[in-house]
Chain A
Amino acid sequence: MTELIEAVLRGLGTGSVYALLALGFVIIYKATRVISFAQPAFMLAGVTMVTYLVLEVSFWVAVPVAAFLTGLLALGVERLAVRPMIGRPAFVVAIITLGVDVAVRVVVNAFIGLDVRNVLDPWGLRTVGIRDIDMQQRHLAAFLTTAALVAALFAFFRFTRMGLAMRAAAYDQEAALAQGVSVGAVFALSWGLAGALAAVAGTFAAAGSSVDAGLWLIALTALPVIILGGLDSLPGAVVGGLAIGVLQELTATYQNHAPWLGGNVSVITPYVVMLLVLLVRPYGLFGTREVERV
């Protein structure tokens, strides 16, 4: 029983990272109808900035600054590579973001180099425990930060003028434009937000271990998450992220009961879940069904 609860708690920690990444994907998708394959690159860029910044300032300053800078990077990418493609088919833009991802990651990898780089987070591998159930502090911190960020995002979309503009643009771009919403600003802000979220997610993904070039694969796990939750659903991204995280940790904990699946089967569980979900519910758990008009 302890094993089970601890696995679920670990899952909530890693799931929070997925949820943050998935929120970025969904925000961009809602605003621009494009899946940005550049998110992994932004995550890696953000966490690499953190590793450089923590050498100068404290962790608590480094993370927001890195998130801000990554947001700026995302803004630049949107302006240079994505904005000229407005009105072109969504898949062409998606492939462009794939190109951006490949190119940006090479530059970031050059900065990571061959040394072991740490985000020097205050948690390390320490745990907090109630009775005999232990939870790693970094997982608790990831969960709480995600909860705070999600609450802030929901408040932003619900109560601010810009949030309302973003919701309007997501609902109907032309109508929003006609009402005076600057759709360009909505595009830019959504990319900036996604970049910043990716940087925070990357920091928690690297907390307690080190940063290397393979970290970007974690960001790709957010793709099954958004399929599970629904491409255009913010609650879906959060629920899906936590669900995939918990499922992955459960598989990792109990996979020794099925050795024929191979060693690291937990790495591909999200993708298997995604295939199964798509066969049953093609628009995910919370996604809106596309209505086709001829």
Chain B
Amino acid sequence: MKGRPLLHTSYASEMALFNTPAKRVWFGVLLAVAVAVPFLLTDDILQLLALCCVAAIGAIGLGLVTGYAGQVSLGHAFFLAIGAYTAAAISGDPDGRVIGFGVTNMLVWLPAAGLAAAAAGVLVAPLATRLRGLYLAIVTLGLVFIGQHIASEWSSLTGGVGVGRPAASLEVFGYQLATTDAFATRDQKLFWLMLALLLVFALAARNLARSKVGRAFTAIRDRDIAAGVIGVNLARYKTIAFAVSSLYAGCAGALLYTVSGYFDPSSFSLLLSVQYIAMVLIGGAGTVSGAIAGAFFITLLPRLTRELQAWVPFISTQPNEVPNVFQVETILYGVLIIVFLIFEPRGLFGLWVRARNYWKAWPFSY
């Protein structure tokens, strides 16, 4: 069907991973830009972008359970914590101050972190299959508090509040992924690594979403009773949704602190969960690309407010003055969630759809 790229002549072509030429082209362009970016930007921005990629993995996970399957989870911080501590414990120094098993290979600790978190997700799932909507939100909120209590009390694993422990070490079969060498600087390598991982996780999520499982998720989100009536096993698919989402969160949690190298139990507070909810909602619930866009936006927000500070002189960078950048940043989380939900519920993805539709019909876009 030359010249009519949007005409699908088979089910397979309609359900393909990149079902329109525009998607193929944009994906190629973005990937090329992303691979080339480390040669153009300074190291501190690259480090931030690497963090964005990791956050995007976590946001895709939350997007699967909240955006696709419609189960509101405020407990993402809990699963991130499980992943982070599993990875840190497995790769930690056996003779150190905190628990460590000395297996530093990333191919071991990353899957282990994901599986540990997924196991926790399966344990929580029975609650999810019994509860709906806001009840589930409150229960998952409770998980965050229980997780935080365990993390701050179990100081032989976590190092205790205010002290913390080193994160997992990035190495594969003895090759250090996070040190400067002849080929590239630490931050360049870090960015490429996280980008590659994001690519793997994002494509996997896309594939899951267009499979039988993904369609079951969407059916549950749109009307769970109707889904049950047409033969979707609710308990089974809600469990799968939680398990996969937690797996993503576990992997993201394991990687998140390898960038800074150190973390402490107070990181995993309710605010972290809110940030991830904000990523999914601001990016666009129910889309993988939206979750990625949201994660980049929210992770870059602190940096953006600092840049903003140069233009808005009354915002201070001193934490003891009012208003300071930290306050502006936190207010922005809240206000952006409100503004997006009221005015553009489809989030950044919705803005993109609007822009696309405008230019598609240009000059007749009214």
Contacts and interface: CB of A to CB of B under 8 A. Distances in A.
Interface of A: 34-35, 81, 84-85, 88, 90-92, 94-96, 98-104, 106-107, 109-110, 113-114, 220, 223-224, 227, 231, 261-265, 267-268, 271-272, 274-275, 278-279, 282, 292, 294
Contacts of B154: 262
B149 A268 contact: yes
Given A35-B137, A102-B271, 6 more contacts: A91-B72, A91-B137, A94-B137, A103-B331, A275-B139, A292-B225
A292 B226 CA distance: 11
Nearest to A34: B134
Given A91-B72, A98-B337, A278-B130, A85 B342 contact: yes
* Contact residues of B: prevailing secondary structure: helix
B334 A272 contact: no
B138 A35 contact: yes
A91 B341 contact: no
Given A102-B333, A278-B135, A294-B225, A85 B341 contact: yes
Contacts of A263: 153
A10 B293 CA distance: 49
Contacts of B149: 262, 264-265, 267-268
A106 B277 CA distance: 18
Given A35-B137, A224-B142, A268-B146, A294 B226 contact: yes
B203 to A, nearest CB: 28
Interface string B327-345: 1001101111110011001
Contacts of A262: 149-150, 152-154
A34 B133 CA distance: 10
B17 interface: no
A99 B142 contact: no
Interface of B: 72, 126-127, 130-131, 133-135, 137-139, 141-143, 145-146, 149-150, 152-154, 225-226, 229, 270-271, 274, 277-278, 281, 320, 322-323, 327, 330-331, 333-338, 341-342, 345
B133 A91 contact: yes
Nearest to B338: A99
B135 A282 contact: yes
A110 B322 contact: yes
Contacts of A101: 334
B215 to A, nearest CB: 20
Nearest to A290: B132
Given A95-B341, A101-B334, A103-B335, A275 B127 contact: yes
A138 to B, nearest CB: 25
The 6 closest A-B pairs by CB, nearest first: A262-B153, A103-B334, A99-B337, A102-B334, A271-B142, A99-B334
A223 B138 CA distance: 7
Given A110-B327, A227-B138, A294-B226, A100 B334 contact: yes
A275 B270 CA distance: 18
B327 A96 contact: no
Nearest to A226: B138
Given A81-B342, A103-B338, A271-B142, A94 B330 contact: no
Contact of B335 (A98, A99, A275, A278): A99
Contacts of B337: 95-96, 98-99, 102
A40 to B, nearest CB: 10
Contact of A271 (B146, B278, B327): B146
B145 A268 contact: yes
A96 B341 contact: yes
B323 to A, nearest CB: 7
A140 to B, nearest CB: 29
Nearest to A260: B153
Nearest to B66: A91
Nearest to A107: B331
Nearest to A81: B338
Contacts of A109: 327
B242 to A, nearest CB: 15
A85 B138 CA distance: 21
A116 B152 CA distance: 26
B334 A106 contact: yes
A223 B141 contact: yes
B320 A114 contact: yes
B139 A274 contact: yes
Interface core residue of A106, A110, A263, A292 (most chain B CB under 10 Å): A106
B212 to A, nearest CB: 23
A230 to B, nearest CB: 11
A99 B138 contact: no
A260 B250 CA distance: 26
| B143, B335, B338 pick with most chain A CB within 10 angstroms | B338
A271 B145 contact: yes
Contacts of A220: 141, 145, 270
A24 to B, nearest CB: 15
B305 to A, nearest CB: 12
A278 B129 CA distance: 11
A268 B126 CA distance: 21
Contacts of B142: 223-224, 271, 274-275
B144 to A, nearest CB: 9
A100 B339 CA distance: 11
A282 B303 CA distance: 43
Contacts of A294: 225-226, 229
18 contacts: A35-B137, A96-B337, A98-B337, A99-B341, A100-B334, A102-B271, A102-B330, A103-B330, A106-B330, A109-B327, A227-B138, A231-B135, A271-B143, A278-B130, A278-B139, A279-B126, A279-B127, A294-B229
B136 to A, nearest CB: 9
B234 to A, nearest CB: 12
A113 B320 CA distance: 8
Nearest to B285: A92
A96 B281 CA distance: 10
Contacts of B126: 279
